[in-house]
Amino acid sequence: MSAIKHLTVLFCVVLFACTAVGQTNIPNNPTWWNKYQYLSTHSVNGNAGTSSSASVGPNVDISNECGPQSETYITVNTSKTKSLAGGSNEIFRLPMRAYVSFDGGSSWAGTDAPLPPAKGANGIDFGSDPSLVFDTQGNLFYSYIVVFFGGGNGINGTEMAVAKSTDGGRSFPGATFFSFSSGSDHFNDKPMITADRNPRSPFRDNIYVAWDAASGGSTGGGIRVARSLDHGASFTVTRADDPSGPGRSIGAVPFVGPNGELYVAWNDYAANAIMFNRSFDGGATWGTPVVVSTKTLPFDIAIPAISFRGALLYPACDTDRSGGKQNGRLYCTWMDLTPGGVTDIFASFSDDNGATWAPRQTVTDPVGFAVDRFYPWLSVDPTNGDVNISFYDTRNDITGARYMTDVYFTQSTDGGATWRQPNTRVSSASSNEHDCNGVIPCSAINYGNQYGDYTGLVSYNGISHPIWTDSRNNQQPSTGCRTNELMEEVFTAGVR
């Protein structure tokens, strides 16, 4: 049995989810799995150099380099609001890619985040799954997983990484690596990072990372949350879900309340529910998990726009820290399957620190024909309490095939009671991650990865910055690229 076939079987056994309804092939088909498959059979292109781009319109290509990038995240320095930082996966290269802008997103530069030494003879390691946050002192923290593998010997293990930049993201001179697992009990996956930026919080500038330690056993797996009390120098880890439960969860997202409350939500695909837990002591201990909402779709679904990879179901959440009428209100959004057999975006809120949640409601426009919406992200503007959501949408595919996608944006200014209609189209050109033809060559689409597993959004002072994977340029042959195509790029735009 080949190493790749062996590992496919291993993941099916370990995660106990290979027959989940609507699922593609292996559980989540994690982004790093596609990267591993590519890197295990290709030589490594070690240096992308620097990248930059200038805005010529509302949409900005911030990666602007060869090969596919995907799975995006963005954050803002609230002390210097023109300072933005983003990140993405590099599929044909080993390191994580970071992007930085000091002019509010008009122009960007790129750099790499560090990796630890490889393990074992002829070993290689690479990064995956980006998320970033600034603390109140202007330090930037970039979290990701590190996957270790050896030539022909399969996966050697995974661990967590948090890289730190003190110059706004121009450079990442070092990183903290922790929670290594050889894979015998779990695989670390899908980390998300946040910071306590509340000026009166007793836990101000604590750094928190949540992730799923994928496993079917109660002693491993589950939802892990790491906290740092020393600005990212070290982390201690707790488990936020039921420690006696099956640990069949994915897509954990941490977020912080106005008084330092720490929250985490995730997709429990065994219970088929969006789950939630809270800590009032800075992540040292956790309460009892509660249900935000039940759902129809357990894990992922191969909708036409992302039929090769499958669209993953996860929550994206935030808290109102504006000091306004809804101060302290919690919000979560997620994708689910509708009775009509398409995917839509839903949201719910809580006014009692997450003990109970309002019935979910859709946040998108009714259009009267079959449309898929997927990969939402949510950000509450801490200056005014506006709740903002961005997502992919196939409404502009006039063929009815639901291949062409655009990024859309919606907003609630009344605490999630109503959502802005019509939704605002953000992308100025559609992406197609499904077809290749005489216009779009097959080499221009990374079918194993497509859009990745999530997008990002950050809002501050009335301006929102969605960030997404965009393949509009795969129709434009580039120069100097090994595949002769830009393939998937990372785009952003400012939305007022």
What is the pLDDT, as a whole number, of residue 221?
Answer: 76
Tokens representing 470? Answer: 């965009």
465 and 31 Cβ atoms separated by less than 8 Å: no
pLDDT given at position 6: 33
Please tell me the pTM assigned to this model.
0.90
Q: What is the mean pLDDT of each run of 10 residues along the chain (496 residues)?
A: 33 36 51 67 58 50 90 96 96 94 95 93 90 98 94 82 97 96 85 96 97 68 94 96 79 97 96 97 97 97 95 97 97 97 98 98 94 98 97 94 95 95 92 80 84 96 95 63 73 94
Burial of 384 (0-12, 13-18, 19+ CB in 10 A): middle
Three-state DSSP class for residue 305: helix
Please give the pLDDT value at position 444. 79
Judge residue 299's burial from the number of C-beta atoms within 10 Å of its C-beta, 0-12 exposed, 13-18 middle, 19 or more buried.
buried
CB proximity list for 319: less than 8 A, separation 6 or greater: 255, 256, 257, 258, 261, 263, 328, 329, 330, 331, 380
CA distance 301 to 248: 17
CA angle 197, 203, 206 (to 5 degrees): 65
In angstroms, rounded to a whole number, what is the distance separating the alpha carbons of residues 192 and 31? 15
Q: How far apart are CA 1 and CA 450, in angstroms?
A: 27
The CATH architecture one would assign to domain 3-493 is 6 Propeller (2.120)
- Output the six-digit token pair for 486: 């830009």
Q: What sign results for the dihedral spanned by CA atoms 356, 74, 310, 420?
A: positive
DSSP string, 452-467: -S--EEEEETTEEEEE
pLDDT at 155: 83
pLDDT of residue 30: 72
- 206-232 core/surface letters (b: 16 or more CB in 10 A; e: else): bbbbbbbbbbbeeebbbbbbbbbeebb
